[in-house]
Structure 1
Amino acid sequence: MDRNQAIELVRCKISSGNLRKHILSVEAVMRRLALHFHEDIELWGMTGLLHDLDYEETVNNPDRHTLITEQWLDEYKLDSVIIRGIKAHAGKVVPSSLMEKAIFAADPVTGLIVAAALMHPSKKLAGVDLKFLKKRFKEKRFAAGARREDILTCEQFGLTLDEFMQLSLEGMQAISDDLGF
């Protein structure tokens, strides 16, 4: 499966525009992290792109989240590393590899970044910097769904919180036109 096929699959399985933007955001963060760590950018990006493929299907049955995706992707014979990464982001397997740990932290940080951009006076990702993002991170009620403890697991894969948030912000800013803000 190439990226174009994956995008088409996302379009077929995900109707929510916001969820599609979230998926693209996680892909962008994963690609930026892969570049930083000198890892396979396409593999990491594909994991991010497909990580919530079954979200709408499993929204009322979260125990099934990622397991339906695994079934859907079986016919594509994807690298098992991608499937494990998808499952790791939702806690279906304990994150053990660098990529698995990265996606576990990348998923919630995108929500924090989006919320920060939307409350920034410019309403644009380009207006958000690390200082602004750190201030929002410290406000526990701000973007409460972006679990701070999950974001802080970035330290388990060798990045400080500042480094992780900066790289994540860069990844999302690079696709700001696709995200529409």
Structure 2
Amino acid sequence: MDRQEALDLVKEHVKTRNLIKHMLATEAVMKALAERLGEDQDKWALAGLLHDIDYDETAHDPNRHSLVGGEMLEKLGLPDDVVHAVKAHNEAHGLPRETRLDKALYAVDPLTGLLVAAALIHPSKKLSAIDVGFVMNRFKESSFARGANRDQMKSCSELGLSLEEFIEIGLRAMQGIAGELGL
């Protein structure tokens, strides 16, 4: 599946605009991480773009989220490692995160939310106005962006990355698509 086919699938299954932005942000960060780690950028980007493909359908049943999407992607012939990463990014299933792709998607998912929240509290409301230090300060505030699981983001250490480096990669990737994100 190429990117355009994946975008068409997103448009077909996801109607929530902010969710689409989250999926685009996750795609960008996953691609940047793959580049940094010497992995397949297209595959990692695809996993990021499609990881929440079932969210509108499963929003009221978190125990189904990512399993429905994984099954959908499996039927469409996506690689097994992409399907597994999509399924494993939801902790509710207790699936082991074995590959770097699994671990990256799990860590990136909440990072995009933290970065959006950090941009939105800045007076300019722009990703270009924030830096790693600003984000790290927000990260340390437990009351800020409570839905962004800090431990999940800290699991970037399993990829051999410090939290600061991980945030920098994510921030730069999202700054690169700030226009699409409206930030």
Query: Do Structure 1 and Structure 2 share a fold, with TM-score over 0.5?
Result: yes
- Corresponding letter in the other structure for 1:53: I
* Structure 1 residue matching 2:63: 3-state secondary structure: helix
Shift of 1:67: 1.4
Q: 1:4 matched to which residue of 2?
A: 4
Shift of 1:70: 2.2
| Aligned counterpart in structure 1 of residue 169 of structure 2, from 167, 170, 175 | 167
The runs of 5 or more residues in structure 1 that have no matched partner are none
Deviations 1:55-102 (A, max 9, x none): 010111111111111232233211101101101211332111111111
1:41 aligns with 2:47: no
1:128 aligns with 2:130: yes
Give me the whole-angstrom Cα distance separating, in 1, the residues matched to 2:104 and 2:3.
20
Contact 2:127-2:178 at 8 Å conserved across structures? yes
Percent of residue pairs identical: 44
- Corresponding letter in the other structure for 1:149: D
- Corresponding letter in the other structure for 2:26: V
Shift of 1:168: 0.6
Give me the whole-angstrom Cα distance separating, in 2, the residues matched to 1:142 and 1:25.
20
Give me the whole-angstrom Cα distance separating, in 2, the residues matched to 1:125 and 1:86.
27
Give me the whole-angstrom Cα distance separating, in 2, the residues matched to 1:164 and 1:45.
16
Q: 2:160 matched to which residue of 1?
A: 158
Shift of 1:47: 0.3
Deviations 1:144-170 (A, max 9, x none): 000101111111110000000000101
Shift of 1:46: 0.3
- Corresponding letter in the other structure for 2:42: E
Moved more, 94-103 or 110-119: 94-103
Give me the whole-angstrom Cα distance separating, in 1, the residues matched to 2:26 and 2:78.
19
* Structure 1 residue matching 2:52: 3-state secondary structure: coil
Deviations 1:118-148 (A, max 9, x none): 0011110101100100010000000000010
- Corresponding letter in the other structure for 1:177: G
Contact 2:74-2:80 at 8 Å conserved across structures? no
TM-score in terms of structure 1 length: 0.97
The equivalences for 1:92-103 within 5 A come to 92=93, 93-103=95-105
1:141 aligns with 2:143: yes
Q: CA RMSD in A?
A: 0.9
Give me the whole-angstrom Cα distance separating, in 1, the residues matched to 2:149 and 2:3.
29
- Corresponding letter in the other structure for 2:177: I
- Corresponding letter in the other structure for 1:138: K
TM-score in terms of structure 2 length: 0.96
Give me the whole-angstrom Cα distance separating, in 2, the residues matched to 1:63 and 1:118.
30
Q: 1:23 matched to which residue of 2?
A: 23
- Corresponding letter in the other structure for 2:101: M
Give me the whole-angstrom Cα distance separating, in 1, the residues matched to 2:52 and 2:39.
22
1:32 aligns with 2:37: no
Contact 2:74-2:83 at 8 Å conserved across structures? no
Give me the whole-angstrom Cα distance separating, in 1, the residues matched to 2:68 and 2:87.
10
Q: 1:104 matched to which residue of 2?
A: 106
